[in-house]
Structure 1
Amino acid sequence: MFKDNHKTIDTLTLEISEDFSRLHPVSSMRVLNLIILKIKYDSLTGGSIHTPSLKLVNNLHYFISGSINLFKKQRISESIESISKKVSSVELLYSVKNNSGNSVQSEIVQQAFHNYHFDYHTVTLKQYLNFFHNNKEVLNDLLKQYEISYEETIKGFLALLYFEFLIDEYGFTKLMKKNKKFLLDDRLFYVYPQRLVKLIFLKMGVDYNKFIRAFFTDLKSHRYDRSIYLTDLYKKNIHSFGVKYKRLLYFPRNYFLLDKLFIQLSEYPMFIKEKGEYLEANTIKVIKELYGEDNVYTNIYDGDGVEKDVIVTFGKYVLSFECKSKPLKEPFRDTKKSYKRLKQN
């Protein structure tokens, strides 16, 4: 493993897991949501050199431990700074490794790796919701394994995202005050009291038990791998949106958690088939509008017998368009292997 200032990705990951082992589970939840809120603040104010990747932080609940190292307890403020800097350092070390060469190939691999593992797409909450609504039949088929419907799933996530607003809307403010020890600045919950969540879910017609079984990890049965790479957490944690601990729930305070549902749907065979047909039909429609129907040819073969989705004659040029409906494959850490895989995409 490459080194930078005597630290490696392996040692930093181990240190992050140790930071969590020094915290009570509820303190870990507080730390994570404070880091997330700081990331959101930094994004509005220009950020700082130690602003960690939101995509990585959204999956750090994997390291929340039910057992605490009583001999090495750590303050919350110290944990926030320590974890934030270490996650940022992991991202920097990957950039250093992938940028070991000055070639265009190296730059392409570095950007692809960074986009895949550290960045979310620029998507609004409304765009996520529209996407789920437009594909609700496929999403319902996907959610059959959890015995929960598309409508209940979306309502459940919206209830958690707009939790404090709904508490006020349904007249549960007295219960909110009774649980003020779980509030940040008397306004936002950093952990959710299950009793309050159940009441709101009941008002919204969401089966609480099914929702929690489908999307939350129960901490009492959770065992984590201390040696896992942070860049593997997203894939490892794809079905876990939060943590259940005794009478509390941890849910990261940002709507990008819905990206996990988006990924599950985009990789679902039924969706890929429908998306492929939809993508090709609409691509051809747009291209014909741009270049004229007489200049567009579909499903023809080149001299090597390879089928081309769309060919366009444009003056002295011939343009070839390929419609790719499958998600791009994960870039390898190894630069040479990664560039080859990117070309295969």
Structure 2
Amino acid sequence: MADIANGHANGNPNVDALKNNIAATYNNVTNGTMSRTAPIPSTANADMDVLAGPVAQNIKAEGARTTDELSNLANSRRAPSYTAATGQPLTHYHSFFSELLSWKNPRASGIAYLALVSFIFSVRYLDVIRWGLKLTWMALGVTIAAEVAGKAILNNGFATQLRPRKYYTVPRETLDTVIGDVNELINFGVIEAQRILFAENIWASAAIALGAFISYYLVKVVPYWGLALIATTVVFFAPLIYTTNQELIDSQIQHAGEIINDQTEQIRSLVQKNTEQATQVTKQYMGDYTAKAQSLIKGAVGQEDGHKSDLKPTDFPAAPKEDFKSSEPVVSKEIKSEPIAPPARAGDEEPLIAA
């Protein structure tokens, strides 16, 4: 123990050599100067190429197709040639989502669907916030430990070696592009909501109304994440089902439209017929009442103008033939007049006792 302590105190050459070897190895790894010391035999390479040939080629081909479809989907972000019913130009997200939901690029559409479904399940079953906090303190703990250990062993921290020469910043062009995309995305939602509300496309508005009606009752038994999953599946696979069976669906829609048009025409003709009959009856009654009113007015005015009236003399009451006589009040003979006593004079006094 004393020899080990003395060796550490005096600078043991074995420990110094170990440190130098570790530092050299670290520098070779970080600087990329480490080379192979034992080349792989050519026979082993040939065997690996034979085993991994078809699989590697298929994977490479699928990766190339996926990259091309994602590029096509990204290039579809341009303003469409058509406009809204008001003549207002639409956003480039109209073309983007139309391309995405049409499944013209099946790999890109499938990746988008799986990403949304994974996001819904992660929000439902994963505690993302706690995991984020845990990942934060673990990452910081690893970097701090690596920095302390590097300074203790190599006199140079590992985090210091991995630190970039210049910290990354967001360019103004990138920020302007992101803000512009967010603005276009918000306008896409606002315009589509108004187009659906004012029934620019009757079938789209009817589909949204039916979905809202069904969701109103499903929300009582299905959680919100389940509704989100159902809505995502319907939005992605309804266009795919339509494009796959377009002829059959279009024929059924045309047949239903013809039936609706026939029923509408019958109802329209029936309403028109009833309206004409009601109008004729109303005109007839109005004519009769107008003729009666005119005859009454002419009969009342005919006496003054000397015209012959339709009124008969018997329609008026008979005039009195005797002269009017003055009527006097009749006094009954049985009533006798009594003398009126003269008014009392001053000084006359009534006797207290009758004589």
* Pair in the same fold by TM > 0.5: no
Which structure is larger by alpha-carbon Rg, 1 or 2?
A: 2
**Between structures 1 and 2, the one with greater strand share:** 1
TM-score bucket of the superposed structures, by smaller chain:
under 0.3
Identify the structure with bigger relative contact order (alpha carbons < 8 Å, sequence gap 6+).
Answer: 1
